[in-house]
Amino acid sequence: MKNLAPEADSSSEPHSSLRSAPDLRSRLTSGLRQASAEPATPKTHEANSSPSESSAQAPASGGLSNEAQEIAESLHDDGVSVPVLAGTVRLVDMALIAATGVIAAVTDAGATQFGLVHGIAVAIAMLFSLAFFQASDAYQVSIMRRGLSQIGRIGAGWTLVFGMIFLIQMTTGLGSSLSQNWIGAWFVLGMTGLVSARLVVYRIVRHWMESGRLERRAIIVGGGTAAADLIHELESQSDNDIRICGIFDDRANDRSPPVVAGYPKLGNISALVEFSRLARIDMLIVCIPLRAEQRVLQLLRRLWVLPVDIRLSAHTDKIRFRNRGASFIGTVPFVDVVEKPITDWDMVAKRVFDVVFASLALVALFPVMIAAAIAIKLDSKGPVFFRQKRYGFNNEIIDVLKFRSMYTEMADPDAKSVVTRNDSRVTRVGRFIRKSSIDELPQLFNVLRGDLSLVGPRPHAVNAHTDNHTWDEVVDGYFARHKVKPGVTGWAQINGWRGEVDRPEKIQKRVECDVYYIENWSILFDLKILFMTPFSLFNTENAY
């Protein structure tokens, strides 16, 4: 198949019938880490762009085309996580089984009460139900969107559960004291509840499928014949949940057609980054031969800052991969290079963590916040709170709430001038609340609202800069820290990187800590940072 990137390294390794996807993934990931650790070079795009890249540049304004803008705006709605959906349905099934067992015991005239034996029977039924429903694919979206098929699988599974209960009774004698009336009532109530619930699931899933909330939205990076072949293969897969939203390619139309397999080319890679900021995109599929590692790495260095999964299409290389490090959509192989951080149940767990601990913190710190508000009002004229535009998740601009620490007439909501030691703009109370980080406490309301997380990379002001250079110019890959929600506290602050950023090395260290946090996140890591935060406040060297 024709190479999509003639400028790439053609001295590729010999093809083999079995290739290690983890080896390729580790090499590319290592290259990304090395690039992210380097300071950014001055931005001279015109001088550094290759001829093929400059020939396909976006409009002079640097924005998206009208077509790309319209498509991005139409894709801005929230998606539904398939693992969370399947897990929620499992929980509903188990809750119904337990509830109908209790109700059957209460309504059974021959049973005295719901006792230990009943509880054991319910637990056994729940285990068998999970096994039988899972074996019949009852938790697959492709089945949940089918009414009769779903009900048939649930009915057959529930019947098998009671067959196993009767088999255990006959062969072991366990549960022989259970009332047959209770068992019969439980079977009927359980069947009614499970079937009714699945009818509701069917309606909801169908609605989400029609509205596009259960699909994975993908962008093809790279065009031409290889992209067309990939699209045809994806569309031929049964129960394919991938929706191709467009194609982006740096090459001009003479090398990359404006329409591939019916999908438009919406712009170059710079436009793709902007497009992904506006649209809800789940996956980027890089359709470039795997042997062109340098070309692939060049693209990944520009794309890895986005909060999306990045997959390398392996269909053009006709190589059979080991499963570890690779994924498949139907029979189409991909190399998994970049994973979207904190997704599915991890996202649910982190949100519950945020709401619970932020609520507890507000209750515990409420007297401190009241005292701070009174002190601010008594110290200087103006409002108690101060709002500032900062970068949130995926570069979205959010309003961050703080206690006002400057004189109102000298406030700097655009962060045009950084706060320095003995800054005359800062009030007497302001100096204290800034050193102690009390001025950050109102951000707990941002956490409850969902703009911030309790733990994460600190939200930086939109115009934050050092030596007249914005921080994305100072640090290569700076925006990778926005792949997750920013936090009230973070790993960088725990390690002493808080306060004034007067040297490029300081923001470089912050970003390194932020990327480390994103790549190693866990609930226990959040708890560790939260526990260490009060102790880190004793380091006030750069806080003023």
Instruction: Please write the tens of the pLDDT for every residue from 136-153.
Output: 999 998 899 888 889 999
What per-residue confidence (pLDDT) applies to 46?
A: 38
Decide: helix, strand or coil at residue 382.
coil
pLDDT attached to residue 71: 86
Q: Give the whole-angstrom CA distance, residue 79 versus residue 243.
A: 13
Find the radius of gyration of the CA atoms of the chain.
28
What contacts 410, CB < 8 A, 6 or more positions away?
424, 425
Instruction: Please count the other Cβ atoms lying within 10 Å of the Cβ belonging to residue 371.
Output: 11
Q: Please give the pLDDT value at position 11.
A: 33
CA atoms within 13 A on the CB side of 254: 3
Using alpha carbons only, what angle is made at residue 485 by residues 279 and 500, rounded to the nearest 5 degrees? 120
CA–CA distance, 337 with 309 (Å, rounded to integer): 8
Determine the pLDDT at residue 1.
Answer: 35
* Cβ density class 75-108: b for 16+ within 10 Å, e for less: beeebbbbeebbebbbebbbebbbebbebbbeeb
The per-residue pLDDT for 339 is: 86
Helices (H), ranges, 253-292: 269-278
DSSP string over 24-90: HHHHHHHHHHHHHTSBPPP--HHHH--HHHHTT---TTS---HHHHHHHHHT-SPP--HHHHHHHHH
As a whole number of Å, the end-to-end CA separation of the chain is 61
Q: In this predicted structure, what is the pLDDT of residue 302?
A: 84
In this prediction, residue 51 carries a pLDDT of 35
At residue 179, the pLDDT reads 82
Q: What is the pLDDT of residue 509?
A: 87
Residue 38: per-residue pLDDT: 56
The predicted structure's pLDDT at residue 44: 41
Cα–Cα–Cα angle for 128, 131, 137, rounded to 5 degrees: 135
Question: Would you write out the chain's pLDDT as a tens digit for each of its 544 residues?
Answer: 333 333 333 333 333 333 455 555 555 555 555 555 555 554 443 333 333 333 333 343 347 888 888 888 888 777 888 899 999 999 999 999 999 998 888 876 545 577 788 888 899 999 999 999 999 999 998 899 888 889 999 999 999 999 998 888 888 877 777 888 888 999 999 999 999 999 999 999 999 988 888 888 899 998 888 888 888 888 887 767 888 988 998 888 777 888 888 888 898 888 888 898 888 888 999 887 767 777 888 888 888 888 999 888 876 554 444 444 567 776 777 888 888 899 889 999 999 999 999 999 999 999 999 999 999 999 988 899 989 888 899 888 899 999 998 888 887 776 666 777 777 888 899 889 988 889 999 999 999 999 999 999 998 887 777 766 777 777 777 888 889 999 999 999 888 887 667 678 888 888 899 999 999 999 999 999 999 998 887 766 655 4
What per-residue confidence (pLDDT) applies to 55?
A: 34
pLDDT tens per residue, range 382-428: 899 989 888 899 888 899 999 998 888 887 776 666 777 777 888 89
- In Å, how far from its chain's centre is CA 158? 35
